[in-house]
Amino acid sequence: MNILITGSNGQLGNEMRVLSVSHSRHTYFFTDVEELDITSSDAVSSFVQSNAIDLIVNCAAYTNVDKAEEDEATAMKINGEALAVLGSQGVRVIHISTDYVFSGDEHVPCRETDPVAPRTAYGRTKYEGEKNLLAVCPEAVILRTAWLYSSFGNNFVKTMIRLGKEKEQLGVVFDQIGTPTYAADLAQAIFTVIESSVWRPGIYHFTNEGVCSWYDFTIAIHSLAGITKCHVFPISSEEYVYKTPRPHYSVLDKSKFKKTFGVEIPYWLDGLKRCMLAISELAS
């Protein structure tokens, strides 16, 4: 297959690049906004046709949650409107969405069939993207994920390592619960979909297994990084000034993905250990 990966300079796109090496029977076209702006209908059509693309994996997105509040129009172009473009090419599409389509007020893991209620501009634009894609490409696969991190790009893991080295004390929110997800494991899930003997369209939830708070996550990061001189203490969401409201409970139920594709999903701490190894290898 000829596979187009958009947004390939991001966390997930880079992990797709790494994993593609072990799936070498396909031909890959790794692009980011400089090579292919997904909001340009002409550019996307021309790229898909001239390279005889069979499948688009959309890793491109406007992911800055706070900036999206200030510039929802731009976020909507990339996260919302571009999905109509990508879905209209007459080829298969795998798209990534987010836990932010839900309100985050629930106390049980969200299923794919649960009602959505985005509370943020980012969540609204991502939900528009889902709808726009499915309207023109009902055979698409959408994977909703959460709390993504990687050895590539900037993310919570790298920020906590830096702050742990700089600060003696660090307050981290303990009353927001979710599942940290190693982008390499999400990339593996995407390849599970690609290599499946039958194309199984639909919306699926995919994160690592287990749950924790940002506080627990930070303790684990510092422990694995050997950071001992920074005292990490729990604070409530009210004590941390957020520009944008954050979900209190954003755990996704992954039963459908596991059952459909017959796979087990790694525990979040296992993913974190592998990511920390990758970060230390990149640094050496």
Q: How many residues at the interface with ligand NAP, by CB under 6 A?
A: 25
- CA 147 vs CA 155, 208, 246, 279: distances in Å: 9, 10, 12, 17
The CA distances from residue 260 to 166, 185, 193, 254, in Å, are: 45, 17, 10, 10
| Position among 5, 11, 176, 203 found at the interface with ligand NAP (CB under 6 A) | 11
Which x/- pattern, by CB under 6 A, does the window 137-176 give for ligand NAP? --------xxxx----x-----------------------
Q: Which residues 233-272 are close enough to bind ligand NAP by CB under 6 A?
A: none
> Rounded to an integer, what distance in angstroms lies between the CA atom of residue 255 and that of residue 253?
6
Is 182 an annotated catalytic residue? no
Amino acid at 56: I
* Stretch near ligand NAP under the rule CB under 6 A, chosen from 2-10, 191-199, 212-220, 267-275: 2-10
Q: Is 12 in the site for ligand NAP (CB under 6 A)?
A: yes
E-only strand ranges, the chain? 2-6, 27-30, 55-58, 92-98, 141-145, 148-149, 169-173, 177-178, 181-182, 202-205, 212-213, 231-235
* Nearest residue to 265 (alpha-carbon basis) of 188, 201, 155: 188
Compare residues 11 and 218 and give the one whose CB is closer to ligand NAP. 11
Q: Which is nearer to ligand NAP, 37 or 175 (CB)?
A: 37
Interface pattern 76-105 for ligand NAP (x via CB under 6 A): --x-----------------x-x-------
Q: How far is CA 194 from CA 27, 90, 187, 200, in A?
A: 13, 17, 10, 10
* Cα–Cα separations (whole angstroms), residue 270 to 149, 178, 184: 13, 16, 12
Enumerate residues 31-50 that contact ligand NAP by CB under 6 A.
32-33, 37-39
Instruction: Select from 60-68, 187-195, 222-230, 241-249 the region that touches ligand NAP (CB under 6 A).
Output: 60-68
Element (H, E) at 20: helix 11-20
Of residues 34 and 168, the one with the C-beta less far from ligand NAP: 34
**What is the set of active-site residues?**
122
Q: Which residue ranges make up the site for ligand NAP (CB under 6 A)?
A: 6-7, 9-12, 32-33, 37-39, 59-63, 78, 96, 98, 126, 145-148, 153
